[in-house]
Amino acid sequence: MTAGGYTTLGTMATETTDYAAVLAFVRQAERLLADPALPEQLCARPESSALDAGLAAAYAEYRRTGRWRRSYRVFATGWTELEGVLILAPAATADADLRASIAAANERALRELLLAFPRGLVGHLSYAAAWMLPTLAELLDGDALPGQTAYRGIKRGSGRIASAASAARAPRDQHQADAAALDWREQVPAAPRPRRKRRDPAVASFRDLLTIKGRSERQCLSIEEPLLVRRALADGLPVLGLLYTEELLAQPEGPAILEQAAGEHVAHQRVSKGIMGTVTATRPLPWVVAAVHVDVRDAAQLHCSPSAVLLIADCVANPANLGMVLRTADAAGVEAVVLLGADSASPFHKHCVRAARGAMGRLPLYICDDPPGFFHRLKTAGFALVGATVEASADLYSLALRPPVALVVGNESAGIRPAILAACTDRVRIPMAPGQSSLNVGVAAGVLLYELVRTRLPADG
């Protein structure tokens, strides 16, 4: 489908040659951004009316010759419309490999662009607004540059760099092995012999991820399925390392996973089945386990676009149900999911990760400890807060849902808590034939979200 002249292939960031649409988006973003001061690379100049003089010149050359300068790579993201742009070029300084300019309309678009940033390379990233900094810090190991709206970093799990203060003194090609949340002391290739030592730093760090508490404190997912490990690597998630057993080598996808890990600069280590049994409670033992850095932040940091669709889950208690909700929200293109309630299932639970089928790490996820304050903020921004309840008099199809909107689903047994439901601006019920009074929360979220998808997609979509 096309949206605003840009051919969209899905919500993940992809490289594009539709440079006219990219430049039009950047000019629009410059007008709409709340922050008045933009970094140099994102400032439109009167003579170019474009992202920067170099990109404008490259585009002019492309229009004239039909050839795009290979030194520039352009990534774009969006589903029903273009929502974010990342432009990469070789860095002119010795403390970085790439210079990057990034413009995004929302948190999800920003995240997808950063996931497309190449692993193993140090980037000097100019960002357009202050709300982008926490996501940069989550996905890239590095720090903000003093006095600039810029961040210097490397994809978590693929290296570690010197601080900004010492960057000028550090040799460009000496990136330290990334210990990140796991204590990998060196980049480990596929080992000819399995590691058997229980005190091995990587093994010990994986053992810290045995419990939900450990995963939450380390801000790490533990992924135990070959398919999901491959997806995490392919999607550019900040994979910190892999452990695998000999059995993986006998599986059709096994060599491809290790080859992919090596190509993505991800440390991977062969272990015995006995050691694998100490880092996971899953039985039968998985052939491969991956640790992925994920930061679930406070909803006060959530940045929403004027056309945002959010999903709010109130006290969803079953981790598998929560995973289904996240998978559905990811597929429906929501900007973020917000979890309410101290009794909510943990998104770090292995059943949630499995049921989410790759959504964890890609989809922006927040926890809200102040629902009244968060709801007030949404209402002030013009959001409709729509609570799904069997007690509503209006059915879903009688309410004209239009962004910005936040859809609220509740606990499997009790539904949305009374105080949360009272704060909603609208209440709807999903029509059902006699015999059933409710749906699984993941199914209900899908019905609600895809009614919005139906209204947002072009008629020829």
Task: Tell me, letter by letter, the H, E, C secondary structure of 284-342.
Answer: CCCCEEEEEECCCEEHHHCCCCCCCEEEEEECCCCHHHHHHHHHHHHHCCCCEEEEECC
Cis peptide leading into 134, omega within 30 of 0?
A: no
Summary mean pLDDT of the chain: 82
Q: pLDDT-derived band of residue 20, with 50, 70 and 90 as boundaries? A: confident
DSSP letters of 392-413?
-SSBGGGS---SSEEEEE-BTT
- Are 323 and 437 within one domain? yes
Q: pLDDT tens digits, residue range 133-144?
A: 999 999 999 999
Q: Which residues of 85-107 are buried (b: 16+ CB within 10 A; e: fewer)?
A: bbbbbebeeebbbbbbbbbbbbb
Which tens digits make up the pLDDT trace of 385-421? 999 998 888 888 888 888 999 999 999 889 999 999 9
Return the pLDDT at 459.
Answer: 60
Please indicate, yes or no, whether residues 304 and 451 belong to a single structural domain of this protein: yes
Tokens, residue 219: 């801000």
pLDDT given for residue 168 in this prediction: 45
Q: Which pLDDT band holds residue 176 (cuts at 50, 70, 90)? A: very low
The whole-number average pLDDT for the span 309-338 is 96
- pLDDT in the model for residue 175: 43
Residue 96 in any domain: the answer is yes
Tell me which of 5 and 109 has the higher pLDDT. Answer: 109
Q: Residue 163: is its pLDDT beyond 90?
A: no
* Shared domain check, 305 and 278: no
CATH number of the structural domain spanning residue 221: 3.30.1330.30
Residue 140 domain-assigned (yes or no): yes
Percent of the chain with pLDDT over 70: 80
435 versus 236: the higher-pLDDT residue is: 236
Kindly report the pTM of this predicted structure. 0.85
Considering the domain architecture, whether residues 139 and 281 belong to the same structural domain is answered as: no
Residue 425 has pLDDT above 70, yes or no: yes
What three-state secondary structure class fits 306?
Answer: coil
Beta strands in 303-394 (DSSP E): 309-314, 336-340, 365-368, 384-388
Mean pLDDT calculated for residue range 295-301: 93
Q: What is the pLDDT of residue 29?
A: 63
More confident residue, 458 or 146: 146
Token digits for 386? 């729509």
Domain-terminating residue out of 254, 276, 293: 293
Task: Check whether 433 has a pLDDT greater than 70.
Answer: yes
Confidence of residue 169 (pLDDT cuts 50, 70, 90): very low
Domain ranges, residue 266: 201-293
Could you tell me if 279 and 149 lie in one domain? Answer: no
CATH number of the domain encompassing residue 153: 3.40.630
Q: Looking at the structure, do residues 367 and 318 belong to the same domain, yes or no?
A: yes
DSSP string, 224-283: --HHHHHHHHHTT--EEEEEE-HHHHTSTTHHHHHHHHHHTT--EEEB-HHHHHHH---S
Contact between 240 and 291 under an 8 Å Cβ cutoff? The reply is yes
CATH code for position 356: 3.40.1280.10
**Which residues have a Cβ under 8 Å from the Cβ of 147 and sit 6 or more positions away?**
none
Q: Average the pLDDT over each of 13-27, 81-95, 326-340, 364-378 and give the range with the smallest value.
A: 13-27
Task: Please count the structural domains in the chain.
Answer: 3
